[in-house]
Structure 1
C-alpha cells in the first residue's frame, strides 16, 4: 500500500510547533524562550566479569573435548571460555559452515564483490549493491574494528575461540570437501573476531535499520543521482558509457518483521506445575532455511558453566534459548519498536539541502563517499563509488512518494537503538551462568543485549519472570506524551507501521534505550507467557500497563494464537490445574486451533444450508457439497491424518481478509471476543472461494493434511529433493499454537534453495506444490522441568542440525517429527551422554605436525 506522507507534513510540523510552544516558559519576556532538552545519559559502565570464570586460555593453546550424541548434538567441554567457544565453532562449522560464510560477506559488504550487483542476475534489482552500500552506510564493520578491543574479556574470548574453531574445521576439511552448497566458493575463507563482531552487530539491526537499506541507497539531496558510478571505466567500456549493468531497484516502505518471526513461550512456576518446580516451554517460529536457523549444543566449563539449548547461527558459544541446572528461559519476538524515523526541517537558505535545524540551531547533513568492488564477469571486478548521507540521528532515507528529500522542506533520517549494541554476548552469557532467578534478572540490569526479544524464565525453586528488555528507544516524557495524544503522530504511525517524530526539536530525540526499571516486567510463582502479542497480558490475571507505547499496545484485540495459548494454559493441565511435562508437550503438539473451536459448528450449518447452490466465484460455478462433506469429516485438528483440514484453512485465509464475527471485540471480555459467525452471503462466498482455490490447485477436498502439507529439502544446487515428508501442524490464520508456514521471499542468504509460488496473495496454497511447502514455523522446541535430581528436558530441532544435504543430520529430526509430531530426550547428564555417545574428539589449536 502506498502511503503519501506529504499529506501529513503540515500537520506534523504544526504538531511539533505546538509541542515547542508547550515547552516554553509561561512568564517573562515573550520574545525569549527556553527549550527543554533531554538530559544526556552517561553510557553505563559495563560490569566487571567475574574473575573466577577463566576467559582466555592461559598458554594460548586452545583445547576442547566434543562428544556427539544422537541426532548430531555436540557436548563441548573445556576449561575456559575461549576453548569452549573453540569447540563450539568447530562443531558448528561441520553443520552450517556455508550459512555463516555467506553472512560474513553480507555484513562485510562484499556480496557484490563475489556475486555481482543483482540478487537475480541481469534484472537490475541491485540487491547486492543495496546490501553492500547499506551496511557501509550503517558503519558496522568500522565500528567493529574500532571497538573490538574495548569489549569485555569474556566477549573477546568467545569471539576469538569461535572463529579459531570455525577456521580449524575449514582448514582441516578443505574447501573442496565441505557442504557442496558452498564448496570451493572464493568467499568461503577464514574469519576473525572482527568479522564475527560485525555479523553480530548486523543481526542486532534485523528488526530495524537493516530493513531500510534500500531507502538509504537512494537517499540523496534533490538533483543528485543517488546511484553508484564507476571509479574507473569497466573493461571494454569508456567511463562515459557508465556501467555494464542496469540499476533499477524497487524501493518501498520497509516491513518491521519481513521474515515473519514469531514464537510461543511459557514459564510455569510452583503454582502451575505438579512437582512445584519451574518449567519452561520454548517454541520459536523462525525460518527453516537461511540465516535465522537455530542450532542445538551443550557446553560445560566444570565448576562454572553447564548449559544446553539452541542459538541462532554464529552466536559464539552462548545459548540463546535453553536451560542450565538452575534456570530455564526462552524468548519470543517482541512487538516493541527499536528505531525512530525523524522528519528533518531543512534550512531553506542552504541551496545544497545539507543543513537542517534542531531547536533553531543549524545541523549538518554529512556526506561521505563509499566504495565497493563489484563482479562483472568471472575473475573481473570494477570499483563503484557513491555518496551516503548521515545526520545527528543516523542515516538519511528516501522512499519515493512517502519519505522524500525535498528542497528547502522536509527530509528523513532513521535512528536505531541497536546501533551499536555491544552487549549481546555478555548478556546471553550472563543468563547462561545464572545460578538462580536473582542472578538471571541481574543479567538484564547489567546489560541490554537481547535486541528484539521478550524473555520468559522459570527457576528450580519455582519462580517465574517475564521482561521485554528488547532495545527500545528511551524517549523523553515530552515525546511519549505526544505519541499518545497527538492525532498527527498517531495517524502517521498507523499508516507507516512505525514511529515518525519531528526531528527539529531535541525533546523528541533519545540518548539511550529504555532502562531496566522502566521495561515491562512480571514476576511471581504462577506463570508468564507470550505468543507475539504485546507484554499486556503476559499474565492474564495481572495485566501490565504504564510503559512506553513503543513496547506495543494495551487493550487491543489478541491474535487467535494468543487466545489459543491462554486457552491451553487454562484447560490443558488436567483436573488438578497443574502441568507435568507430558501435558505441556500434548498442549503444543495436539495441533488444535482456536478458530475451528470457536466457529466450526456454525460454519458447518451454513455450509450444509447452501450445499446445493451454484455459486459464482470469478466466473467459475462452485458447488459446496463436497467441501461440506470434507469439513464434516474433519476432526478439527491439524494433524497428518486430519481429513479436510486444508478446506478449513483456506476458508480461514478468506475469513481473515473480512472477518464475519457475530460479536465484536470487547476489551472487558478480551479472551472471548470477537466470537460467533455471521450467517450471510459473505461467509458463503468465503467458503466457495476456499473450495474454488483447492479445486483449481488440483487437490482433493477430502485429502488428509499429510497429503497436502509437507517438508521437502533442497539439493545442494537448490533443486527439489523429491522426498516429501508429511507434516502436521497448524497455521497462524486458523489460530494454531504449533504453527508452520511457507515463504518464497529472501531468507537472508544467497545459498541455493527451491520454492513453490503461491496461487495468489490471499493464501499460501501453491498449485505447483499441490499444497503447502513448509519452510518456516516451529523450529527449536524444548520443554525443561526442574526436579530434585536436576533438569529433565525434551526437545526437537524440526529442520535438523545440518544444512549440508549430504549429512545424516540434515533431516533425521525432520523425519522423526514427520512420523508423528513428537519431542526427543535431551541428553544433559553425564550418564545420559555416555549412554548415547556416537562420536568423541579432542581438538586443539596447536599446530599439527
Structure 2
C-alpha cells in the first residue's frame, strides 16, 4: 500500500542544535558539566536534564535518539522495565513462582504468573512477533523504528552495564537474577504485548485453561443467552471502571483566547507497573522534534506535541477482539463444524519453567487448542463459557499488529490534523484508542480511526448469535462497555471479511470510522464518538460504540466545561480557553454527579423522619450528615473539600454497578438533550434513602468522620511523607479521575490522572506547553524524581515545559549527559 512520508517543520532554534552541539564539543560547558573531550558529536547522543528530571534527548540519527532514550528510561525505571521484559518473555514463574500476580493487560494484577507465562510462551512458540518483524513496511516496522529500537537496546544495556545489577538503587530489583541485558526482540515483544493488552485481561485465563470435555460429555446446565450476556456485561463494566481511561479536549481557533488552538491531554493510566508513562523530548535536528510522554520502553512519544500539532489518545469503546461460537462434535469435541464439514482443532503443547518453594525448577505444560478463527477460550472476564455443545474461539484484531509503532513515529512528525488523519488511515495501527488533536492552523480533530474488527452492521445482523446480539446491541447497555461480538462460527462467511481499503485483513475500512474537524472544540471521555461535539453528532458502525444513548457524567462534564468556557459562562474571566483557565477547570475537580443530585440528596436527608433511615432492619441516624452536605456548595473534590468523601460513597452505593440513567430521575434521558439529561433526582426514592444510610453507616464503621477533608483520606506516602491527592472516581463525573486502592497492603492510587499536558499554539512562535506527571518520573524510591511532581500535582500546579534550545539552555537545573 502506497503511503506518504511527512516531516515536521522545525524551528530555527532546533535547526541550530547541530551548531550548539558542535560548539559544546569544541569549548566544553561549565554550566552543563561537559568537559571539552566529552563533548557531543554526530555519534554521541546527548541527554539534557531540566527541572524535575525531564530529559531532552538530541542525536544526529534515529539510533542515537533511541540510545539516549533507552539510557535515560533505564536510569529512572530499570526495575519496572526489567519486570516487564520478564513478563513478555514468559519467565515470571521461573524467577518469582507461579502464584504471584501479573498485569498483562490494561488492569493491575489480573492473573497469575503461571497463566501469564503460558499466554506469552504460546506467542513465543508461534513466532508471532518474529513473523511480523519479517514483513516489509508498512506492515512491519519502518526503518527509523528499527533504528530507534536498536539504539534503545544499546542505551538500556549501557546503563545496566555501567551501574551493575548489584548497584541498582531501587530495592525492587537490586541484585535480582532476572535483571539482565535485553535484545531487540525483547523490546518488540513488549511493544506487541502493549498493543494486544486490550483483550488480554478479558480472555487470557480462559485461553490457557481451556480443555475439552470427555468424549461423552454429560449434560451440563447452561445459562440462558440473556443470563450469560448480562454476566459478561456486568463483568466488563466492573473491569472498565477499574481500568485505564482518559479525557482529551482539543479547542480550535473559535474557542481559544490569545492563540490559534489548544489541547488538553489527560490520560488516566496506572500509577504502578508496565503502563506507567514517562516524559521526554526527542530531537534529531532537521528530522523530528517532539515532546510528551510514552509508555515506558517506547523510544517515541505516544501523547505530546511537535512544532505544529498536539495530540492525545483516549480509551475507545471498540472491543479489539471478537468471539466465534463453534459447534463441536459431542463424541469428539476437538472437532468443530464449518460449512457443513467437520474440522479438527489444532493442539499445541506449551511449557514453562516454574520455581518451586525449595528453589528448584519444574516444567508445567498445557495443551492449548485453536480453530481457524483463533484460540479457544472457556471464559470471558471470569464468566464461564462452557466447552460442551459448542466452544468459543477468539480473534484478536491486534495479534498481527506492529503497525502501531509506525503510527506513533509518524504522528511524532505530523504537520497538521489532516496529516494525523492520513497517518491513522494508512497505518490503522492505533490499537484501541481514539485520537484527539489540534494544530497551529486552528483546527480541532477527533478521530476514532483505529484497528477495528470488520463487523459492519449488516455483517452483525447476519452473523451474531443470540448471546452476541444481546452483547453487541444496546439492550444491555452500561456506560463505556464496548459492543462485544459473538459470531456464528459454523459459517465461514461470518469470519471478519477482508476490505481492500483496510491496512490489514479483517480490519474495518478506515473511511467508515468517525472523524470530525471543527474550529470550536472536540473531545472524548471514553464514551463513543457520537458526541465528540454535540452540535455535530457522528454516525458510525455499531462495532465502534453506541449512539443516541446516555453519556457518562464525565462526558457531560467535559462537554459542559468546553461550552461554558467558550461562551464565558463558567464564572471565570473572559471567553475562550487560555492555559490558566484550562488548568483551573481541570483541577477544580468539579463533580457532575453533585451538580445533578446534591440538592435532592440534602432534601432527602433533611426530610428523614427524626433524622433516621432504615437500613437492613436497623435505624441509622443521618442528621449529622445533612448540614455537612448542605455546606458542600462547591461540589468539588479538591484536597480540602468536606462532605465529598461521604457523597462519593453514597453515589457508588446508589449506582450499584448500573448506568447512571438507571437511577430514579424525575427527568429521564432524552437523546435530543443528551448533555443535560437525565436530571432531577427523586428525593423521595427509597433507593436514594437506603444508599445514603448505608454510606453514613460505612464511614462510621470505618472510623472516618463524615466531614473529614478529602486530604485526610485520599493520599499517598512517598519517602515517609503523606501527600494528599485531589480528584475522584470517574462515576462522579470528575474530569481529574483518581481511583484509590490498596497496593502492597498500603493505600495508594491505582489509576487516574498520570501525564497531564496542555499545549497552546499561536500564529507564530514555539508551542507553549505545561504538564505534570502525577506520579513523577521515577518509580525508584531512592530517586530525586520519585515524588517531586507528585507534590506539584497535589498542589494543582504545573511544570512550564522547555521546548526550544534557548529554553532548555536557560534551565537553572540543566545537567548534561553525553553518551560517548
TM-score, normalisation: structure 1:
0.81
User: SS of the counterpart of 1:586?
Assistant: helix
Match of 1:116 among 88, 92, 97: 97
Deviation at 1:459, TM superposition (A): 0.4
**1:107–1:141 CA contact under 8 A, matched in 2:** no
Secondary structure of the residue aligned to 2:211 is coil
- One of 246, 249, 255 as aligned partner of 1:263: 246
1:564 aligns with 2:540: no
Q: Does 1:198 align with 2:189?
A: yes
1:342 corresponds, among 312, 324, 328, to 324
- CA contact under 8 A between 2:8 and 2:413: conserved in structure 1? no
Cross-structure match for 2:286 = 303
Secondary structure class of the residue paired with 2:77: helix
1:529 aligns with 523
- Residues 90 and 121 of structure 2 are in contact (CA less than 8 Å); yes or no, is this contact kept in structure 1? yes
The alignment status of 1:550 with 2:529, answered yes or no, reads no
**Residues 62/379 of structure 1: CA separation in 2 closer, same or farther (3 Å cut):** farther
Aligned residues of 1:118 and 1:126 also touching (Cα < 8 A):
no
> Structure 2, unaligned stretches of length 5 or more?
11-40, 103-109, 136-140, 217-233, 497-504, 657-661
Cα pair distance change 1:609/1:815, threshold 3 Å: same
Output aligned runs, 1:57-136, within 5 Å.
62-119=43-100, 127-136=112-121
Is contact 1:140-1:198 (8 Å) kept?
no
Q: 1:526 to 1:565 in 2, by over 3 A?
A: same
Note closer, same or farther for the CA distance 1:401–1:187 as it changes in structure 2 (3 Å cut). Answer: closer
- Quick one: which of 403, 409, 425 aligns to 2:385? 403
Which residue among 213, 217, 222 is the counterpart of 2:213? 222
Q: Indicate the larger mover: 629-638 or 74-83.
A: 629-638
Name the structure 1 match of 2:469. Answer: 490
Where does 1:126-205 land on structure 2 (aligned, <5 Å)? 127-139=112-124, 142-150=127-135, 151-178=141-168, 179-205=170-196
Q: Deviations over 1:474-499 (max 9, x none)?
A: 12564233379x86532254779722
Give, in angstroms, the shift of residue 91 of structure 1: 0.4
Summarize the Cα distance change of 1:385–1:602 in structure 2 as closer, same or farther, 3 Å threshold. Answer: closer
Q: 1:45 to 1:377 in 2, by over 3 A?
A: farther
What is aligned with 1:506?
492
Q: Does 1:697 align with 2:702?
A: yes
Superposition map of 1:758-797 within 5 A: 773-787=748-762, 788-797=764-773
Deviations 1:581-632 (A, max 9, x none): 2111111111111111122222222222227333343465421121112112
Equivalent position SS for 1:683: helix
- Which position in structure 1 is the counterpart of 2:806? 831
1:343–1:411 Cα contact (<8 Å) kept: yes
- For residues 540-571 of structure 1, give each alpha carbon's deviation from its aligned partner in whole angstroms, at most 9, with x where no partner exists: 101111x2211111111011111111111111
In structure 2, the CA distance between the partners of 1:774 and 1:488, relative to structure 1 (3 Å rule), is closer
Q: 2:229 — aligned with what?
A: none
Structure 1 residues 224 and 468 mapped into 2: Cα distance closer, same or farther (>3 Å)?
farther
Deviations 1:399-426 (A, max 9, x none): 39842222xx311110000012111211
Can you list the C-alpha shifts for 1:195-230, whole angstroms capped at 9, x where unaligned? 1101111111111145312111221222399xxxxx
- 1:28-69 deviation line (CA, Å, top 9, x unaligned): xxxxxxxxxxxxxxxx5677798999xxxxxx9952100000
Change (3 A) 1:673 1:482: farther
Task: Give the aligned partner of residue 499 of structure 2.
Answer: none
Q: CA deviation at 1:79?
A: 0.8
Contact kept? 1:417, 1:512, Cα under 8 Å: yes
Aligned to 2:669: 665
Q: 2:272 aligns with which of 280, 285, 289?
A: 289
Distance 1:287 1:686 in 2: 29
Contact 1:336-1:470 within 8 A present in 2 as well: no
CA distance in 2 between partners of 1:833 and 1:223 (Å): 68
Is residue 434 of structure 2 the alignment partner of residue 454 of structure 1? yes
What SS class does the counterpart of residue 808 from structure 1 fall into? coil
Distance 1:599 1:513, change over 3 A: same
1:264–1:532 Cα contact (<8 Å) kept: yes
Q: TM-score, normalised by structure 2?
A: 0.84
Equivalent pair of 1:591/1:736 in contact (CA under 8 Å): yes
Aligned partners of 1:612 and 1:624 also within 8 Å: no
Alignment CA distance shift 1:141-1:353 (3 Å): closer
Name the stretch that deviates more: 509-518 or 82-91.
509-518
Distance change (3 Å), C-alpha of 1:451 and 1:140: farther
8 Å contact from structure 1 (residues 140, 201) kept in 2: no
From the superposition, tell whether residues 138 and 49 of structure 1 become closer, same or farther in structure 2 (CA, over 3 Å).
farther
Q: CA deviation at 1:671?
A: 1.2
Residue among 471, 476, 481 paired with 2:451: 471
- Structure 1 residues 384 and 76, CA gap change in structure 2 (3 angstroms): same
1:739 offset after TM fit, Å?
A: 1.5
Whether the 8 Å CA contact 2:7–2:414 is kept in 1: the answer is: no
1:148 shift after superposition: 2.6
> Which of 776, 782, 789 pairs up with 1:813?
789
Matches within 5 A, 1:419-458: 419-458=399-438
Q: CA deviation at 1:470?
A: 2.6
CA displacement at 1:687 relative to structure 2 = 1.8
- 1:478-528: CA deviation from partner (whole Å, max 9, x where unpaired): 4233379x8653225477972211111122211421132111111122211
Q: Contact 1:148 / 1:156 at 8 angstroms: preserved in 2? A: no
Q: Which of 617, 622, 628 pairs up with 2:615? A: 617
Q: Summarize the Cα distance change of 1:651–1:210 in structure 2 as closer, same or farther, 3 Å threshold.
A: closer
Instruction: Classify the secondary structure of the residue corresponding to 2:352.
Output: strand
For 2:399 and 2:375, how far apart are their aligned partners in 1? Answer: 11
Of residues 535, 539, 546, the one that matches 2:533 is: 539
Question: Displacement, 1:827?
Answer: 1.2
DSSP-derived class of the 2:434 partner: strand
More moved, 504-513 vs 215-224: 215-224
TM superposition shift of 1:96: 1.0
1 CA distance for matches of 2:436 and 2:8?
28
2:18 is matched with none
* Residue of structure 1 in register with 2:744 after alignment: 754
For residue 346 of structure 1, give the secondary structure of its aligned residue in structure 2. strand
- Measure, in 1, the Cα distance between the counterparts of 2:337 and 2:688: 54
Deviation for aligned residue 1:730: 2.8
**In 2, Cα distance between equivalents of 1:512 and 1:290:** 32
2:680 aligned residue (652, 676, 679): 676
Residues 209 and 503 (structure 1), Cα distance of their counterparts in 2 relative to 1, 3 Å cut: farther
The question of whether the paired residues in 2 share the 8 Å contact of 1:478 and 1:507 is answered with no
Does the Cα contact within 8 Å between 1:273 and 1:580 map onto a contact in 2? yes
In 1, the alpha carbon distance for the partners of 2:127 and 2:43 equals: 28
Q: 1:801 aligns with which of 755, 777, 780?
A: 777
When residues 682 and 50 of structure 1 are mapped into structure 2, their CA distance, relative to the original with a 3 A threshold, is closer
The number of residues matched between the two structures is 729
Unaligned runs of 5+ in 1: 1-43, 54-59, 226-251, 714-720, 745-752, 757-768
